[in-house]
A and B are shown apart, each in its own frame.
Chain A
Amino acid sequence: QQQVKQSPQSLIVQKGGISIINCAYENTAFDYFPWYQQFPGKGPALLIAIRPDVSEKKEGRFTISFNKSAKQFSLHIMDSQPGDSATYFCAASKAAGNKLTFGGGTRVLVKP
């Protein structure tokens, strides 16, 4: 059972453009939603995270939008740079310190 569905699988964006990645979850007990960035040969690194009591969180060029009623959340990467080329994973967990359930990942390529 895939509890977190992520789309698209891959994305190509021009330098300076906006990358948008969407995730949908099924388990209403989830209350923590992080996004991880992974470069080839490396482990995932936390990018930004949100809890369902807010609808949007922004950190630098990265913004999470959260829609609790639709059980959906998305990552927006503004002013995309070639260094942002990586695989991005959304995830969810039921509470702090619990296991993470990951989406399938989105490979983002930013063309110069």
Chain B
Amino acid sequence: DTGVSQDPRHKITKRGQNVTFRCDPISEHNRLYWYRQTLGQGPEFLTYFQNEAQLEKSRLLSDRFSAERPKGSFSTLEIQRTEQGDSAMYLCASSLDLKETQYFGPGTRLLVL
């Protein structure tokens, strides 16, 4: 399977704990995006990278959220001191530079108790 992969697929954590998600984009895709989707809503943009550079961050991304793409390949999204409001599906997508189509992974569903 050469699509976007995300790990883990599900995460249950207690409020206040830190969690980290991983995204592996399609090989050679230099743009990588993170979105958050709550139940019954459309995905909301969080941040995106071109290669290893983080080019844009949404105002939704509080100081507790941090994303990295250290070698321009996989990316990690960390949430510190999780809150119940962080419960959502976290989606990763990738695309080729200057190409419109974003290919989404299956998402990581986070539940904060």
Contact = CB atoms under 8 A, between A and B. Distances in A.
B45 A97 contact: no
A102 B100 contact: no
B104 to A, nearest CB: 3
A19 B101 CA distance: 24
Contact of B95 (A4, A97, A101): A97
Interface size class of A (residues with CB under 8 A): 20 to 34
A44 B33 contact: no
Contacts, number: 58
Nearest to A101: B45
A10 to B, nearest CB: 10
Contacts of A45: 104
A44 B56 contact: no
A44 B91 contact: yes
Contacts of B106: 41-43
Interface string A69-105: 0000000000000000000010101001101111111
Contact of A89 (B4, B42, B102): B42
Contacts of B45: 99-101
A100 B102 contact: yes
B44 A46 contact: no
Nearest to A99: B45
Nearest to B46: A99
A97 B99 contact: yes
